[in-house]
Amino acid sequence: MPNICLKLANKAENVLLVRQALSGLAEVILLDPVELNDLNTAVTEACNNVVLHAYDGAEGPLEVEIHACPPALRVVVRDYGGGIKPRVQNAENAPGGIGLPVIRALAHRAEFVDLDPGPGTEVRMEFSTAAPPTLEEPATELLFEFPPAGSHEPAETMVLAIAPSSLARSVLPRVLSGLAARAHFSTDRIAEAQLLADTLITRTDGSLGASHLSVDVGVAPRVLGLRLGPLHAGSAGELLGEDGDGRDLCGMLDRLADAYEVAPAGSSEVLALQLAARR
């Protein structure tokens, strides 16, 4: 099961978010900078292929899965379009055409697989690393399906699922900084959003109803909407309740978030919050 799943739109600016996730990962598993550079370059090429070629100029999903248990790192970049057939021949004349040779050169192993049933393509890459195996593989894959966002349908959304929480604490704040920058947050406000995310990951860790923490982020001009889950039914209320340490979390949310609520989601619940850019 992957440690990190990202579901994004195949937009050029989203590739930055994938790299932020990889940097966060590198920090946790102590990847050396040369290894990270290889990983970054190859994964960027695979993502750029999806951005440029998978949907023939239309928009579609870009999915990235990262299995992060050294000595092997595996990354899958997936699309559901008809494009990105390997175009190695004649590529010297095609802009972007050196992506696949680059992937082949930098990854220890690389496969280009047509999805069955299609349409779609997976680029499966494996990287060897000298980093010590510090992460355990998550037991189950549970990509949580968030219910529709409701009244404020944001301009754009992305979903992340991360396990374990030590990894989430490094990856989510980085990805958030990329999204907050896009939503025109000031640097101070970005730091606050990161602090809040870190606290929420820590505090909800014991209440997660799945191996992965799933986070759905909606980006609108000057606003980020965050939903975290799935939490055991009733646990979010407990976290925010008056008793025990919960009061602290409430105080922090009052100060740093612009709105928050516990929302039911199937048999579990999610914590939803809004962060405005402020000044």
Nearer to other proteins, 38 or 65 (CB): 38
Residue 226 contacts residue 253 (beta carbons within 8 Å): no
Phi, psi torsion values for 245, nearest 5 degrees: -80, -10
SS3 10: coil
Nearer to other proteins, 156 or 198 (CB): 198
Residue 41 contacts residue 105 (beta carbons within 8 Å): no
Residue 260, both tokens: 């928050």
Please state, in angstroms and rounded to a whole number, the distance separating the CA atoms of residues 149 and 100.
37
Nearer to other proteins, 143 or 194 (CB): 194
Query: Minimum CB separation from other proteins for residue 194, in Å?
Result: 5
Query: Minimum CB separation from other proteins for residue 61, in Å?
Result: 22
Nearer to other proteins, 145 or 187 (CB): 187
Query: Minimum CB separation from other proteins for residue 119, in Å?
Result: 26
Nearer to other proteins, 60 or 169 (CB): 169
Let me know how long the chain is: 279
Nearer to other proteins, 80 or 274 (CB): 274
What is 31-57 written as a DSSP string? --HHHHHHHHHHHHHHHHHIIIIITTT
C-alpha closest to that of 232 among 273, 270, 200: 270
Beta-strand relationship, 223-231 and 268-276:
antiparallel
Nearer to other proteins, 34 or 58 (CB): 34
Query: Minimum CB separation from other proteins for residue 141, in Å?
Result: 26
Query: Minimum CB separation from other proteins for residue 177, in Å?
Result: 5
Interface residue list for other proteins (CB under 8 A): 16, 19-20, 23, 27, 32-34, 37-38, 40-41, 44-45, 88-92, 98, 101-102, 104-106, 169-170, 173-174, 177-178, 180-181, 184-191, 194-195, 198-199, 202, 245, 248-256, 279
Residue 207, both tokens: 């209440």
Query: Minimum CB separation from other proteins for residue 165, in Å?
Result: 11
Query: Minimum CB separation from other proteins for residue 35, in Å?
Result: 9
C-alpha closest to that of 39 among 23, 53, 57, 56: 23
- Sequence-distant (≥ 6) Cβ neighbours of residue 52 within 8 angstroms: 96
The angle that helices 15-29 and 33-49 make with each other, rounded to 10 degrees, is 150
